[in-house]
Amino acid sequence: MLNPDTPLTTRARAKINLTLRVLGRRADGYHELESLVAFAGTGDALSLVPGPDLSLTIDGPRGQGLPVDDSNLILRATRALEAETGSLRTGAFHLVKRLPVASGIGGGSADAAAALRLLARLNGLSPDDPALLRAAAATGADVPVCLASRARIMAGIGERLGSALTLPPLFALLVNPGVPVETAAVFRALAAPPLSPALMGGAPSSLRAQRSNPGAAVPDAPLDGVATLAMTLGATGAGPGTAAALIAALSAAGNDLEAPARRVAPVIDTVLAALRARPGCRLARMSGSGATCFALFDDCRQSAAAGRVLARQEPGWWVKATLLR
């Protein structure tokens, strides 16, 4: 039984889009995506002290100015789960914000997913309870994939999830130049064409049916080229040879939002060039809609050394060496 005086705690790990493909613009204005995502060893920290009143406080190096009202995704996720369950034990949330905001690594979504995990523990809900998944989808496009924080394919607008993947560890350096990037502005710059009806009609029947049940995880949801990539990366081994093959496969893919994001925030070009110039960099790419970029290295010594150099050269940048899984 939970001690009412003991805070429940969890981490909200950064989400990294290793690949991101935009299939087209849907009739509702949203964009149909495919993305292979992994999660970093760095993130925010969230705690929940059970109590009669729902509240939120925020501190940490990236917490200044963040709202603590119902516009915050943590509280929105709580309200969404309450709407699903009818009644819900809540309490006082406290967020230690370490991840940069509006940065393409799902910080707010990870926080919301962390809140749902804590509420599930407090209320005795299973991690795969359909109400939890529906609340995640209702809160934001990236929240469902952040619930379990496991590498997998996400599709649709984020509501369709493939099976969890066991990827070899990737030694990464994350860099954000301190410039927030509005996702909507990047999609406007992309100017994606309408989604092809033929493509939509060709989706597996399980995925078409799932459109009416957002938030439900669909096993093996990847489509098209990303499916082949996921199978290649798949689930065997974690040795350096496997990691090298994974990085080679990733190099053949890309992030369709990178070019428009560079037009919105040209500093992304500077970040990518700085990463590619570091010894041992095997791949440098933007995550999500930016402006955070990542570089992959063969080992932790190379990623850490690159981080130390960039932190000295650009003291205003957020620089973090980490492991992606």
| Catalytic site positions | 15, 142
Q: Rounded to an integer, what distance in angstroms lies between the CA atom of residue 257 and that of residue 270?
A: 16
- Would you say 157 and 312 are in contact if contact means Cβ atoms under 8 Å apart? no
d(CA 88, CA 108): 22
Cα-Cα end-to-end distance for the chain: 32
Q: Report the C-alpha gap between 164 and 148 in whole angstroms.
A: 9
Neighbour count for residue 9 (Cβ, 10 Å): 12
